[in-house]
Amino acid sequence: MIKIGRVTVSLEMREVYVEDRLLQVGSRAFDILELLIRAEGQTVTKEDIFRHVWPKSVVGENNIHVQLSAVRKIFGADNHAIRTISGRGYRLTIPVEANDPADLPATVPACEATGAASQSGLPVCHAPLIGRDEAMAEITRALKGTPIVTLLGPGGIGKTQLGIAVARSIAATSGMDVCFITLASVDNAQSVIGTVAAALGVGRADGDVPLQSLVAAIRGRKLLVLLDNCEHVIESAAIICEMLVQASADLRILATSREPLRTRDEKFYWVAPLETPNVHASAKEILACSSVRMFLAQMNALNTVVEHDRSSLEMLATICRRLDGIPLALELAAARTAVFGIRKLVSELDDRFQFLTGGRRTAPARQQTLEAALDWSYQLLSVTERLVLQRLGVFAARFSLEAACNVAACGRLSRHEVTEAIVGLASKCFLMTTFDSKTKEYFLLETTREYALRKLHESEEADEVLTRKSTYLAPVYEQPYGRVFGVAALGGKPSMEPVAAR
């Protein structure tokens, strides 16, 4: 966290606090504040502001004045915090401080510093990481023997927070430098290269950087790169990752994505949902589950108490089960419970996409609502994968590949196309797979299934698909499923084997 007088700023989280009070700051005002901070007391020209804040628009100077007024309000009584340099631009006059020198926006990135391990741009996670101790240990072990480890899972599962916790732990215990790079806002190959280059100190995020410069920047350095949000630029991210690890034996990359990079020497770690209570769990068992502990922690942060009587605990267990133990869904649910109460939340779970909204204002748009989290991943699917997903929504429980083909291979889709789409949906964390029998079976998490059904009904082919299901689906496929996820068997652990190997 960066301190400027009474003001505290997190550049990574894009949050501004005044004496521990979170301020609501517009995105363009924050962009200008960030420019001033990174300039380290030097003058930021109007041209710099136009280029950084309005890169694709033509606007007048009055736009700068409006946003600067908002920035100046942040500093309150410090009227001279931002000085106008006549005819040139603006300068931040208050010294910038940080709890950790690695948090300071130096011209040379902190990940190039010598001496103690640095954590360049690594966000500070104030919320406790619940239920991930075993995952952290496994991922840390994997990074010791593998150059690339990718954390996989659906949106909102907590990949980023888990990756940050692992990176911070490694930096503290191994002396390895850590460089955090988020690709959330980039949308093309050159932007990926520029963003990585800027983090490694060899260029600007908006500049053209030769790949050879990236290689030169990491040679001879004991470095862990945390590459976050790779799924929408997966090919570019994969190329850069493979090139970098081939250039340096001391480099490790921990990536987060909703599908594998599919590079050489890559291990996958499927981030499972938090543990949810069984239907007949005792009060003690309910309270011991990580999903329940996280929900209660969120409620506590909102100064709301949940009673621990049997009825309240059972409703709490129901919420965690029906939301599949997904941290983002639990966070949104806790915020609604604080306003409407736990009984109202349970009654609204059948309409979860309308009810679970209002995420953190500072969160990315795709994490503001439950539906937005799924929309982000859905847009990355092929047309065939989208069609198969919505048709598979008719399955309320486990189903076999044969059943899936019988139901989804209608219209212009062949059985082969359905099979290929199932491979894609499984690798992109839409379709879950069980491994507790000789024959693989598949299922959708409840929230994913509700989403798929919404898409099915919007397509106006629901009656046809339901008819095919009732005609072809054998009763054996209607077994209720327990709590399994992705590549984890019932009661098993997440695996690091490639999807193709199974």
- Residue pLDDT, tens place only, 321-359: 999 999 999 999 999 998 899 999 999 888 888 888 876
Q: By the 8 A CB rule, do 76 and 6 touch?
A: yes
Q: What is the mean pLDDT of the chain?
A: 82
Lowest mean pLDDT among 118-132, 155-169, 280-294: 118-132
Q: By the 8 A CB rule, do 46 and 64 touch?
A: yes
* Neighbouring-strand partners of residue 8: 3, 17
Within 10 angstroms of residue 255's Cβ, the number of other Cβ atoms is: 29
- In 3-state terms, the chain is what percent helix, strand and coil (to 5)? 50, 15, 40
Per-residue confidence (pLDDT) for residue 205, from 0 to 100: 57
Per-residue confidence (pLDDT) for residue 58, from 0 to 100: 67
Output the six-digit token pair for 274: 């938090």
Residue 123 pLDDT grade (very low, low, confident, very high; cuts 50, 70, 90): confident
Between 114 and 359, whose confidence is greater? 359
Between 4 and 239, whose confidence is greater? 239
Output the six-digit token pair for 177: 């430098």
Per-residue confidence (pLDDT) for residue 102, from 0 to 100: 43
Distance CA 259, CA 431 (A): 12
Average pLDDT over residues 464-479: 67
Output the six-digit token pair for 40: 């380290």
Distance CA 180, CA 196 (A): 9
Per-residue confidence (pLDDT) for residue 368, from 0 to 100: 79
Chain centre to alpha carbon of residue 120: 19
Per-residue confidence (pLDDT) for residue 59, from 0 to 100: 67
Between 25 and 163, whose confidence is greater? 163
Between 418 and 124, whose confidence is greater? 418
- Closest by CA to 445, choosing from 157, 213, 214, 170, is 157
pLDDT for 432 beyond 80: yes
Fill in the DSSP letter of residue 120. E
Interaxial angle between packed helices 462-472 and 446-459, expressed in degrees from 0 to 180 and rounded to the nearest 10: 120
Distance CA 106, CA 115 (A): 16
Q: Which helix (H) or strand (E) element contains residue 15?
A: strand 15-18
State residue 271 phi and psi, 5-degree precision. -80, 115
Percentage of the chain lying above the pLDDT 90 cut: 38
**Residue 87 exposed, middle or buried by CB count within 10 Å (0-12, 13-18, 19+):** exposed
Q: What is the pLDDT of residues 245-269, one digit of tens each?
A: 998 888 999 999 999 999 988 999 9
Between 4 and 119, whose confidence is greater? 4
SS3 assignment, position 7: strand
Residue 362 pLDDT grade (very low, low, confident, very high; cuts 50, 70, 90): low
Per-residue confidence (pLDDT) for residue 435, from 0 to 100: 65
Lowest mean pLDDT among 64-73, 168-177, 386-395, 430-439: 430-439
Distance CA 385, CA 403 (A): 17
